Amino acid sequence: MLKMKVFAFNDLSVPIIQAPMAGGTNTPNLVSGVANFGGVGSFGFAYATPENIEKSLVTTKKLTAGYINSNFFVFKDVKLPEKETQIKCLEALTSLPFGEQVEFKIPSAPFFISLDDQLGPVWDHRPAIVTFHLGIPNLPIIEKAKSLGIKVGITATNELEALDVVKAGADFIVAQGFEAGGHRGVFDLGTHDDQLKLDDLLVKLTKKISLPIVAAGGLMTGTDIRRVINLGAKAAQMGTAFLCSSEAGTSAIHRDYLLNNQDRETKITNAFSGRPARGIDNTFIKNMQNEPILPFPAQNSFTANLRKTSEIIANGEFVSHWAGENFKKIRNLSCSQILHELKIEFENA
Ligand SMILES: Cc1cc2nc3c(=O)[nH]c(=O)nc-3n(C[C@H](O)[C@H](O)[C@H](O)COP(=O)(O)O)c2cc1C
């Protein structure tokens, strides 16, 4: 194995981390394209099997010697509700406009792939960075990563979570503002969410915490990157900005909503997966507002056939279009063109 270059923020030629985006968006071409430009390319491996993780890392390492990040969700044990509620959850989906044509089944355990199994290929192929979302992994995982020279980042959405990340021994914090697309990184859904906007979160964290901070949420331009760097962030983690890049694995219907449904706004919903996530508003989000849903990620498996069917029949009203609040500034270009423009804007800001 080639000697691995240890990640340092100062080595980036642009302070950009292309965000991990679970569900097939992060292709080897996108990740390596960003890494080759001098940023960090990320894989969102939350739902990926160890075999697929292995394949993605092997392929990408052939395309770049730059910085790669492997990202995982920290899933919690799932307790399904009583039978009576499960039936109501089933009724909520079957009563949707074409719900009767879709097969729905209450999922059973295992509800997710074990993190230890997913991390096997990471320990073998050693991407420069590993990040975690939705909580803090077991400490031996953090220690193992660090012993291999892999830097560890963990998402925090408020001060208390950030302090826990510091205590856990991570190398950096990904501060996720309320504007962010995709799943909100809150650790415990039972606690109150202050829904802090990115700038407010950065001001709070930089006052108290000396660990490097990566800013995430609604960052679409080089001027945005300059703003968060001025607020003390070391880099900008950008997801939505890359969703329409030619290298991304974003579906045709998702791209269509991002580019052609700009009269809509985004909304936070837990109806697709069982956890709050931000996406472009659609009929499913509206219809499910007062309906019972299964816990995360059981609801994600439960709605999978509906989302698939919605996509096949090119009806984007029943599939998730994850996007940050500022998606209307999205660029329909290659990732190197996007990075090139962001770099110039950043330097001129
Ligand atoms: C389509 C999509 C999928 C996402 N999936 C993940 C993920 O798997 N892991 C993660 O840590 N963050 C995920 N996020 C959140 C990003 O890390 C980041 O917080 C967000 O993209 C920042 O907001 P922006 O989309 O406005 O740039 C996702 C975001 C999007 C848009």
Looking at every residue in the chain, the average pLDDT score rounds to: 97
Mutating to test ligand 1, I would choose from 322, 326, 327 the residue with most ligand atoms within 8 A of its C-beta, which is 322
Q: What is the pLDDT of residues 235-258, one digit of tens each?
A: 999 999 999 999 999 999 999 999
The count of domains in the chain is: 1
Residue 146 burial by CB count (10 A; 0-12/13-18/19+): exposed, middle or buried?
A: middle
Query: Which CATH number do you get for residue 31?
Result: 3.20.20.70
Residue of 99, 100, 118 lying closest to 49 (CA atoms): 118
Q: What is the pLDDT of residues 81-98, one digit of tens each?
A: 999 999 999 999 999 988
Q: Residue 292 falls within a domain, yes or no?
A: no
* Spatial distance between the Cα atoms of 320 and 254, rounded to a whole number of angstroms: 8
If one counts every other C-beta atom within 10 angstroms of the C-beta of residue 209, the result is 18
Range of the domain at 217: 9-75+111-282+321-348
Mutating to test ligand 1, I would choose from 69, 132, 133 the residue with most ligand atoms within 8 A of its C-beta, which is 133
Residue found by looking up tokens 């697929």 in the block: 52
**Taking a C-beta distance cutoff of 8 angstroms, is the pair 337, 37 a contact?**
no
**282-292: average pLDDT:** 97
pLDDT of residue 335: 97
Q: Residue 135 falls within a domain, yes or no?
A: yes
* CA 326 to ligand 1: nearest atom: 26
Q: Residue 300 falls within a domain, yes or no?
A: no
Mutating to test ligand 1, I would choose from 31, 34, 43, 183 the residue with most ligand atoms within 8 A of its C-beta, which is 183
Indicate if the alpha-carbon torsion angle 273, 159, 40, 279 is positive or negative.
Answer: positive
Q: Residue 105 falls within a domain, yes or no?
A: no
Residue 251 burial by CB count (10 A; 0-12/13-18/19+): exposed, middle or buried?
A: middle
Q: Residue 80 falls within a domain, yes or no?
A: no
Confidence of residue 3 (pLDDT cuts 50, 70, 90): low
Q: Residue 276 falls within a domain, yes or no?
A: yes
* Spatial distance between the Cα atoms of 169 and 153, rounded to a whole number of angstroms: 10
Backbone angles phi, psi at 36, to 5 degrees: -70, -25
Q: Which segments of the chain does DSSP mark as H helices, in order?
A: 28-37, 50-63, 83-94, 115-125, 139-147, 159-168, 198-208, 222-230, 252-260, 283-287, 298-302, 304-312, 335-348
First-to-final CA distance of the chain: 41
pLDDT of residue 348: 98
Ligand 1 residue neighbourhood (C-beta within 6 Å): 19-22, 25, 44, 46, 71, 133, 155, 176, 179-183, 216-219, 237-241, 322-324
Q: Is pLDDT at 1 greater than 50 in this prediction?
A: no
* DSSP H or E segment with residue 18: strand 16-18
Q: Is pLDDT at 19 greater than 80 in this prediction?
A: yes
* Spatial distance between the Cα atoms of 265 and 198, rounded to a whole number of angstroms: 18
Q: Residue 183 falls within a domain, yes or no?
A: yes
Q: Is pLDDT at 304 greater than 80 in this prediction?
A: yes
Q: Residue 153 falls within a domain, yes or no?
A: yes
* Spatial distance between the Cα atoms of 307 and 299, rounded to a whole number of angstroms: 12
DSSP collapsed to 3 states, 283-310: HHHHHCCCCCCCCCCHHHHHCHHHHHHH
* Spatial distance between the Cα atoms of 74 and 236, rounded to a whole number of angstroms: 22
